[in-house]
Structure 1
Amino acid sequence: MKKAFLIFAFLFTLLSFSQEDAWIYFTNKPNAQFYIDNPLAMLTQRSLNRRTTQGIALNTQDAPIHQSYINQIKTAPGITVKAKSKWLNALHVRGTQANIAALSALPFVSSIKYANHSLNPGGRVNPVTVQNTQRINKFLDTQVIYNYGSSAIQSQMLNTHWLHQQNKTGAGKIVAIMDAGFPGVDTQAPFQRLRDNNLILGGYDFVNRTNNPYTGFQHGTQVLSNMGGFTDNQLVGTSPDAHYYLFVTEDISSENPVEESYWTEALEMADSLGVDVVNTSLGYFGYDNPAYSYSYNDLNGQTAFASRAADIAFSKGMICITSAGNSGSTADPYVGVPGDAVTSLTVGAVNSAEVKAGFSSIGPTFDGRIKPDLMALGVGATVATQTGTISINNGTSFAGPILAGAVTSFWSAFPNKTNAEIVQLVKASADRFTNPDNNYGYGIPDFQLAYNNAVLSTSEFGKKGFVVYPNPAKNQISVALTETISNAEITIYNSLGQSVLHEKIEINKPTVLEDLNSGIYTYKITFDNQSQTGRLIKK
């Protein structure tokens, strides 16, 4: 009997004193209206300008958490506040289960969600088993205007070098990189051009709570080099003239859900600073404590804290580009968090022959969505290390920033387009756009094609006297004509050159495409004894 009592006492002690992680959600934001009425008290002018350009209104998500709530949680017995999210109106805390549960008595606490799924109502009782290799897999390390050197292929595969030839190199756009550290960026030669041109706007280490991002693991250094690095005839990043913020959100010493909260906090800071593009070469699925780990059922874009934040970031006008992950050859081969987010542009890896890397994580998400979204070079990618050495590395960690830089350069060519328009143009240019799958997504984008389609949609009207929209199209298209054109006809041809549709263009009457299969077509507009052709994608 005594032995049984001792075992019970031991278990009670473990439950009472072991540390847990949890998110504390609040009921409201009492001072939200003040901040909405005084937006510069919470956002920079550039952040407000980004919203104005895209027609995005302020809301209570933009207001900070009520400081009194934070103060009361901080002073609660046994509670440590690790991170905060104004968008989700929550704090990430650490403490014993008993001390965390006691917070529910506070009148402004609406709910508590434990990182340990078994502690939540309806949560999993038996934690999933996760191999220790999951954390390592996220990195998978080892192994013309500019002289690109060995980095040429990673630009040419996407036709990013063509954008550079048009002088579209990311100027005027701001990128935030969330990663594990950026040692050497402040001293080494491949980043000299960024420093000389004041293109690094600042940074923050959310793990150690310091203003110095130039420490930690050099993974972030290599990621930045794919976008902004420059060493003549060796390495040219895909957005060499963009501005950058460097944020450390990854604690390389452990794997814990607090990193999702650091990431979310960094994302909110990026928003407030007016960032346009966010690169994340990190992903989460398995944690050191298996009770915290996700299962495939959780990969629905709605469960994970970071994935929910990614979708909010998109609603604020940013584009989040996330590496798919390097678990494609494991028992859990799926895209992780936050790559499962609906609006995240998730990037897988191919080799120089444009064949998917075996390690590149796959889809679908649990709710059946296509993932990854796009592909880029992730096998034999050229990077710069913390010592300034130009080297080769593998992983979706590098496919992501290579593509993120290309997107940034492309957006710099059309700065007044919305994030949704940019994402759609990039996806529509990809080589598998009409036949996506869960290995390649929509495929490898072609930024020259995306550029041409963007020009078509913005300036073709003035140059040609007409514009065809939308393109890509689903069930119908419309043709807008200038007043100088009295009548016109449209003919659509399939890939064999056969006419599959021909009709007169009438004002306010769309051309119906329902009888056409998905694919790439050629259209010809005939008017006033002349004709011009273009490319049409039917989804």
Structure 2
Amino acid sequence: MKKTLLILTLFFSVFSLKAQTEDAWVYFTDKPSEKEFLSSPLKMLTQRSLDRRIRYNISLDFKDIPVEESYVLQLKTTEGIKILARSKWLNALHVQGSQEAITSLLDNNFVASIQFANKSLSSIEKGSTSKKTVSKKNKFEVLTDFDYGKGATQINIMKGEVLHENNFTGEGVQIAVIDGGFPNVDTFLSFERIRNNNQILGGYDFVNRDSNFYTGDSHGATVLSTIAGYVEDEFVGTAPDAHFYLFISEDVDIESPLEESLWVEAAEKADSLGVDIINTSLGYSTFDNPDYDYTYEDMDGNTAFISRGAEIAFSRGMILVNSAGNEGTDAWHYVTAPADSKSVLSVGAVYSFGVIAVAPFSSFGPTADGRLKPDVSAIGAFGTGIDASGNVTRSLFGTSFASPILAGSIACLWQAFPQKTNAEITQLVKESAHLYLNPTDQQGYGVPNFETIFNILIEEIPEIELENVQPFPNPVENELNFKFSTSTVSEVEVVIYNLLGQMVSKEMVSKLYPVKDISYLAKGVYLLQLSYNNQKQTIKLIKK
């Protein structure tokens, strides 16, 4: 009798194991439609996205091709398999089903390998039977003379006001905020400015597969506010004139590997739309099912699905800014994924009452493979933004807010110097930080200095000494004068370009009236091109 009970117990245990729902990523072998899409790139990317590739000399490749639809359909009709997400970059589907049902997918000749989220199960690939692959506990007219109010510290500590004073406020730069929700962004007065100026370009709720992104958890709205919020005389975000896509990938009711896959979907969408910067104030290390938890050894930038996706996102030309995590006082006190990714600019939290001090909760590096993380730090304790009730608050705590505060300032910098690549911008941000020569495991290189970066890049614009016509003064406020030093030149064509290469003024100036009114120009740096006698000369012009 006891033997019969034992056999029955073992039978039901095995049956239960087989029936248990598992999460897994199924990777495909190829993309049969590759040539078709590469010959018609607008089928997969917008013109703005293609323009970014051209600007930074980034070629289209296999990763840009969508997942083969016939493969998706075949798995979709497989009994016991539920498809929850897909990634063209990693050529994979996120599926749920029993271990047995998922393993059987290898019978399809187009399936290359399967990686289970449950680390007690072996990931498998063709020709192999047991090969292991390897938190949220966490337009033209712009304003440049802002009253930052309560938000002054978080901008001034990075010298971000220097960018604003030179009229770089994020105009023309697109930022995707990937988070847990954006309720009331469509109604709060603090977001009225970006609504009225049509700066919200769209968004999507990947969790509920719904186009209504003004829903979910208020965390995302508060994150957005640190970049885009505006309350006159009380608060200004770090990039108040940028444009935004708002994506929901975080399900606040659960913590599962699916959220990683949804994030990758959102990042792929951002790339296809031509977004410049992605801010993510999310991180993953532990899940509701402890079998899915990551270990410190997994924080190597190559193991977590989301981290691998983030690395590909960077290779497409975007800048990725991510919170380092709030685990600094926990037993697990390391950065979380995707902040462990090599190319992600991961941000720790500090506070300042005259002296910069690290916030104790800010997660530590290094990564498992010994790289410095976080990369840099920003205000993440006593930060300022808009709370869930729509009020300005100076009680924001978390690297969740340090990340977007920095992302906004980076948007302003990239607006000023769009010819710089994402790698060049992120490196300059690191090198400008106050601990660059003595980084720490909790602050990284420290707090960046955007005035330093701005001055360095301005100096890179070549100065050309003009022989026949001299414009003065430079810097200039309202009137630009011209000295004609030769009788062979009696007039000159004067063209002014902004640093985006857009012409903002063109007219002839002569010896009879050698003055040009530029009072209408906003403060900033311009390129002044002078043409005469079939010659063209260009100099840097600074408008005060």
Partner deviation per Cα, 1:218-257 (whole Å, 9 max, x = no partner): 0000000000110112221101100000000000001000
TM-score in terms of structure 2 length: 0.81
1:2 and 1:96 mapped to 2: Cα distance?
Answer: 27
Q: Classify the secondary structure of the residue corresponding to 2:15.
A: helix
Who is 2:406 aligned against? 403
Contact residue 115 and residue 133 of structure 2 kept, 8 A: no
Displacement of 1:438 in angstroms is 1.4
Who is 1:375 aligned against? 377
Who is 2:19 aligned against? 17
1:167-316 counterparts in 2 under 5 A? 167-316=167-316
- 2:79 pairs, out of 77, 80, 90, with 77
Q: Classify the secondary structure of the residue corresponding to 1:348.
A: strand
Partner deviation per Cα, 1:399-444 (whole Å, 9 max, x = no partner): 0000000101110101121111111111111111122221211110
Letter paired with 1:159: K
Displacement of 1:462 in angstroms is 3.7
Who is 2:439 aligned against? 436
Letter paired with 1:230: Y
Partner deviation per Cα, 1:371-401 (whole Å, 9 max, x = no partner): 0001000001111124311122100000000
Contact residue 349 and residue 356 of structure 1 kept, 8 A: yes
Who is 1:446 aligned against? 449
Identity of aligned residues (%): 49
Partner deviation per Cα, 1:8-29 (whole Å, 9 max, x = no partner): 1221121121100000000000
Displacement of 1:461 in angstroms is 4.8
Letter paired with 2:425: I
1:43-192 counterparts in 2 under 5 A? 43-120=45-122, 121=130, 123=132, 135=136, 137-138=137-138, 145-192=145-192
Who is 2:36 aligned against? 34
Contact residue 425 and residue 453 of structure 1 kept, 8 A: no
Q: Classify the secondary structure of the residue corresponding to 1:119.
A: coil
Q: Classify the secondary structure of the residue corresponding to 1:382.
A: strand
Who is 1:361 aligned against? 363
Aligned in 2, Cα 1:189/1:345: closer, same or farther, shift over 3 Å?
A: same
Aligned in 2, Cα 1:418/1:96: closer, same or farther, shift over 3 Å?
A: same
TM-score in terms of structure 1 length: 0.82
Contact residue 61 and residue 86 of structure 1 kept, 8 A: yes
Q: For structure 1, which segment, 6-15 or 409-418, has the greater mean C-alpha deviation from structure 2 after superposition?
A: 6-15
1:92 and 1:145 mapped to 2: Cα distance?
Answer: 48
Aligned in 2, Cα 1:463/1:450: closer, same or farther, shift over 3 Å?
A: farther
2:218 and 2:168 mapped to 1: Cα distance?
Answer: 28
Who is 1:325 aligned against? 325
Letter paired with 1:455: I
Who is 2:473 aligned against? none
Who is 2:496 aligned against? none
**5+ long unaligned stretches in structure 1:** 126-133, 139-143, 465-539
Letter paired with 1:274: G
Contact residue 206 and residue 262 of structure 1 kept, 8 A: yes
Q: Classify the secondary structure of the residue corresponding to 2:270.
A: helix
Q: For structure 1, which segment, 417-426 or 404-413, has the greater mean C-alpha deviation from structure 2 after superposition?
A: 417-426
Contact residue 277 and residue 320 of structure 1 kept, 8 A: yes
Give the paired residue count.
450
Who is 1:493 aligned against? none
Who is 1:338 aligned against? 338
**5+ long unaligned stretches in structure 2:** 123-129, 139-143, 467-544
Contact residue 22 and residue 98 of structure 2 kept, 8 A: yes
Runs (4+) of structure 1 exceeding 4 A deviation are 122-125
Q: Classify the secondary structure of the residue corresponding to 2:357.
A: coil
Partner deviation per Cα, 1:140-170 (whole Å, 9 max, x = no partner): xxxx711111111110011111111111001
Displacement of 1:122 in angstroms is 5.2
CA RMSD for the aligned pairs?
1.6
Aligned in 2, Cα 1:463/1:193: closer, same or farther, shift over 3 Å?
A: farther
Displacement of 1:123 in angstroms is 4.7
